[in-house]
Every structure is written in structure tokens, then in C-alpha cells.
């Protein structure tokens, strides 16, 4: 199998039947890693193509942020000729990713059992909103799952309303989990010679992503509640007011707390029994915050950042997205990549690096049906995976 890609998945073919965010993020990750990803869309196109503003040269930036390194073909799966093309793609694929309504793929003869009879090496990844049991008919949208899972209930100020995350965090997490599932399926296939079906869903991922919060509930029965920007198990671990605005201080152990006090000239607080241990600091977090802010408010944030970073105390101003990107650039992380193509599109870099099989960026997000000729030629054996 010829391949010109450099990533660890070069030569792997992914049939992408997904849409919106979770599935496309997973397939973009696989594409970044070198896989040949064929995006199969209804002629109407992925919904996110219409999610504007914002836009870049008339194209939705939402869509553009999730679909680089892919090829696209438009197929109406309710039409037999288009179904035949989709089936042929799946028959040659190593991985298939879908997040359509539960049962839709079966209606078109594109379910795992049917496809596995033709392609037993296929790793078939299905993403749903609430699983394939009693919740199968519930539409899965990120903000609804943030609400359903308890995520919103623990996010926001204690006396304020529940608050969603500033990004579709459950969809993002689910896309990453689906990527892990696809890679694990490929690893198992390398050992057994056979593919398998991998399933995940937004609600299960949201609960898993609640991590220590759901873990504490399951272990103790105590339901966590909103703490604003405070941490349920650490203090100080929150924004604290300085002369010109808030500064996040994230103390994770006693040694960091001692260094914080030294920097602030408040070594006297180390002897205060209210703050002698982390557990005591958590119990008295409000009093501790007031005492620390009394000193922090005497000087601007930049002064404290310089001093605290030099002392290895975790600290940061609350940056805008633009400032976050600029910080990463300052630190040499190269967060911005210019994709090849006519769009002159800057995109966020893949966060993985490999010493011998680097991530590459070979094409900008495709327009609808942009690669029909290539896909059909590939099915005839007249084009290589690339």
C-alpha cells in the first residue's frame, strides 16, 4: 500500500461517516497522524458548514477547525448507487467512525455486522449521545449532556446559576475517547487479525470526565456542589485579587504553600494552625484567600507572576484565547500551523509530537464533494492512499 504521509498511521484508511464535532475531531486526529480519511457527507453537507459566524473566506470556522487533512465525497445514502459507493469505501477501510442516529447505519446496510462479513478487519467506532439502550432515541448535543451529567451543576459560582463550559467540552472529550478506541482496535487487530466494534457515548464520557468529582460521590455518597473557581480538595487553588486584577494561584502541596508565603512576606501564616495542612487550608479557604489578597493587592499581577514563577509556585494571569496562543508561541510550542491550499488558513497544531513519524498537514478542510474523482479512482485501484 503506497503512502506519502509521514505520521504513524500512514497507509491506514478511515471511512468518516461522522458529523458536527465529536466524530470529526476523532477522524481529524487520525488524519493528523497520517491516516487517509474519506469524509462521507450527505449532499447537504456537515451541519457545521453552516454554523456561522465566525467565518473565514465564506467558510464556517467551526467546520474548518475539525476537518483538515481529509478528503470529501457527497453521498445520499437513501439512493442505492450512493450506498454502493459508501459500502465499497467501508469494505476497503481499516477504521470506520460514525455518530449518526442509532439505527441509521443499519437501515442503509452499513452496520458493523453487515460490513464485517465483507471486511472482517474493520475497526468500527460508533458514537451516540446516551448509549444504544433506552436512551438510543435521545438526540446527543453537548450542552444537553453537560446538563444531564452534572457538569453544569458543579460549574459556576455557589450562589449563581449552573454554567456550561466555554467550549463543547463533552464533544471534545468524546472525540478523544473515540480516537483512543480506534487506536486500541487497530492494536488488537494487529495481534488477532480481526477488527471489532467500539462504542462510546457522550453521557458516559461526561461522567468519566468528571473524574475526582464523580469519584468522590461514588466513594462517599456526598454530592459535590458549585465552588466557583475554588477547588474541592486544594487551597489556595483559585484566582486571587491583585492590584490590577485576578491572578490564579494553584498550590498543590505544602512546599509550594511555604514558598508562596515566603514570596508574599507572610511566613507568619505558616504557624497559623488554620493553614498548617492542606486539609486545614481547605476548611478555611475563605479566610486564607482574604489574607493572601491583602498582600497581593499591594502590587500588580506582573510583579507577582515574575516573583512566584521564579519560586516555582504555579501561577498564571487569566489570559484571553489570543494571549494563550501567544504564550504558547513564546514558549516555543508552535501552536499555529498554516495549512496548504488556497484558503491561507491558520489552524491549531496537533498536540502530539513523534521523534520518527511526525504529524503532518497535507490539505486544508475540503469543500463539499471536493474529492469525488479521487475517491472513485481509488476504489478502482487507480489512486494511492495519500
Domain boundary assignment for the chain:
13-210+337-379, 237-329
Catalytic residue from among 32, 46, 82, 171? 171
Q: Check residue 234 and give its pLDDT.
A: 97
Q: Check residue 118 and give its pLDDT.
A: 97
Architecture per CATH, 13-210+337-379: 3-Layer(aba) Sandwich (3.40)
Q: Check residue 385 and give its pLDDT.
A: 80
Quote the crossing angle between the two packed helices 202-209 and 169-192, to the nearest 10°.
100
CA dihedral for 50, 53, 54, 55, sign (positive or negative): positive
pTM (predicted TM-score): 0.94
Q: Check residue 2 and give its pLDDT.
A: 40
Cβ proximity of 6 and 358 under 8 Å: yes
User: What homologous superfamily does CATH list for 237-329?
Assistant: formyl-coa transferase, domain 3 (3.30.1540.10)
**Strand 95-98 to 123-128 pairing:** parallel
Query: Strand locations in the chain, DSSP E?
Result: 13-17, 36-41, 55-56, 59-60, 70-74, 95-98, 123-128, 197-201, 237-242, 245-250, 315-317, 336-338, 346-348
Asked, colleague to colleague, whether 13-210+337-379 and 237-329 share their fold, the answer is: no
Q: Is 367 a catalytic residue?
A: no
pLDDT tens by residue, the chain, 386 residues:
344 889 999 999 999 999 999 999 999 999 999 999 999 999 999 999 999 999 999 999 999 999 999 999 999 999 999 999 999 999 999 999 999 999 999 999 999 999 999 999 999 999 999 999 999 999 999 999 999 999 999 999 999 999 999 999 999 999 999 999 999 999 999 999 999 999 999 999 999 999 999 999 999 999 999 999 999 999 999 999 999 999 999 999 999 999 999 999 999 999 999 999 999 999 999 999 999 999 999 999 999 999 999 999 999 999 999 999 999 999 999 999 999 999 999 999 999 999 999 999 999 999 999 999 999 999 999 988 87
* 3-state class (DSSP) for residue 346: strand
Q: What is the DSSP letter of 356?
A: S
Amino acid at each position: 500500500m503506497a503512502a506519502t504521509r509521514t505520521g504513524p498511521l500512514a497507509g491506514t484508511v478511515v471511512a468518516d461517516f461522522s458529523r458536527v464535532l465529536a466524530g470529526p475531531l476523532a477522524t481529524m486526529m487520525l488524519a493528523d497522524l497520517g491516516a487517509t480519511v474519506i469524509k462521507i457527507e450527505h449532499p447537504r453537507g456537515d451541519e457545521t458548514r453552516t454554523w456561522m459566524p465566525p467565518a473565514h473566506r465564506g467558510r464556517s470556522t467551526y467546520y474548518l477547525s475539525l476537518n483538515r487533512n481529509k478528503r470529501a465525497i457527497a453521498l445520499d445514502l437513501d439512493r442505492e448507487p450512493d450506498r454502493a459507493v459508501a459500502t465499497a469505501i467501508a469494505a476497503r477501510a481499516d477504521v470506520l467512525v460514525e455518530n449518526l442516529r442509532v439505527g441509521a447505519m443499519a437501515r442503509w446496510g452499513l452496520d458493523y455486522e453487515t460490513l464485517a462479513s465483507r471486511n472482517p478487519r474493520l475497526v468500527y467506532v460508533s458514537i451516540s449521545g446516551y448509549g444504544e439502550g433506552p436512551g438510543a432515541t435521545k438526540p446527543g448535543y453537548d450542552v444537553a449532556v453537560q446538563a444531564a451529567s452534572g457538569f453544569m451543576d458543579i460549574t459556576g459560582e455557589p450562589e449563581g446559576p449552573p454554567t456550561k463550559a466555554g467550549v463543547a467540552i463533552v464533544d471534545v472529550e468524546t472525540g478523544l475517547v473515540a480516537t483512543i478506541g480506534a487506536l486500541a482496535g487497530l492494536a488488537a487487530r494487529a495481534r488477532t487479525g480481526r477488527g471489532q466494534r467500539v462504542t462510546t457515548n457522550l453521557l458516559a464520557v461526561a461522567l468519566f470526565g468528571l473524574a475526582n468529582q464523580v469519584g468522590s460521590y461514588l466513594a462517599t455518597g456526598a454530592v459535590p456542589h458549585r465552588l466557583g473557581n475554588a477547588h474541592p480538595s486544594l487551597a489556595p487553588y483559585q484566582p486571587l485579587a491583585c492590584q490590577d486584577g485576578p491572578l490564579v494561584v494553584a498550590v498543590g502541596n505544602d512546599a509550594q504553600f511555604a514558598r508562596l508565603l515566603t514570596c508574599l512576606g507572610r511566613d507568619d501564616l505558616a504557624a497559623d494552625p488554620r493553614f498548617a495542612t492542606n486539609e486545614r487550608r481547605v476548611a478555611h479557604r475563605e479566610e486564607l484567600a482574604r489574607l493572601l489578597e491583602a498582600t497581593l493587592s499591594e502590587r500588580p499581577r506582573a510583579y507577582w507572576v515574575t516573583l512566584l514563577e521564579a519560586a516555582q509556585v504555579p501561577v498564571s494571569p487569566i489570559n484571553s484565547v489570543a494571549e494563550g496562543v501567544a504564550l504558547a508561541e513564546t514558549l516555543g510550542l508552535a501552536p499555529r500551523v498554516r495549512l496548504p491550499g488556497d484558503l491561507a488558513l491558520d489552524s491549531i497544531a496537533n498536540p502530539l509530537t513523534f521523534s520518527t513519524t511526525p504529524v503532518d498537514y497535507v490539505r486544508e478542510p475540503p469543500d463539499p464533494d471536493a474529492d469525488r474523482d479521487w475517491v472513485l479512482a481509488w476504489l478502482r485501484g487507480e489512486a494511492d492512499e495519500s
